[in-house]
């Protein structure tokens, strides 16, 4: 299963839990513990979805960064230190 399919399945489960929570709330004799359990499941799914989405974004950013870095490799021989203006050099520490 691809990552997109997995995310879609998690989102579908989250929506289903949302519907279950709404239905249980409308029930005149609903159990508050059951409602709480459904809400916790829903929150765990939401956190899992967010973690997967964030990990995917981080991997995408990392790939972009590596690609950009590969396109622009600078070696010491590419410039002369005398060409760097003194006001652009900052002391570290």
How many structural domains are present in the chain? 1
Q: What whole-number percentage of the chain has pLDDT above 90?
A: 46
Interatomic CA distance for residues 71 and 69, integer angstroms: 5
For residue 92, being part of any structural domain is answered with no
How high is the pLDDT of residue 14? 96
For residue 60, being part of any structural domain is answered with yes
Residue 13 has pLDDT above 90, yes or no: yes
pLDDT (tens digit per residue) in 75-92? 555 545 455 555 555 555
For residue 93, being part of any structural domain is answered with no
For residue 90, being part of any structural domain is answered with no
Structural domain including 24 reads 3-73
For residue 55, being part of any structural domain is answered with yes
For residue 83, being part of any structural domain is answered with no
């Amino acid at each position: 299963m691809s990552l997109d399919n997995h995310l879609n399945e998690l989102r579908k489960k989250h929506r289903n839990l949302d519907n279950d929570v709404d239905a249980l709330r409308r029930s005149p004799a609903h159990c508050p513990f059951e409602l709480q359990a459904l809400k916790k499941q829903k929150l765990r799914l939401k956190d899992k979805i967010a973690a997967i989405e964030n990990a995917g974004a981080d991997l995408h950013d990392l790939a972009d960064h590596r690609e950009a870095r590969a396109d622009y490799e600078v070696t010491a021989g590419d410039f002369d230190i005398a060409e760097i203006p003194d006001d652009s050099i900052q002391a570290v520490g």
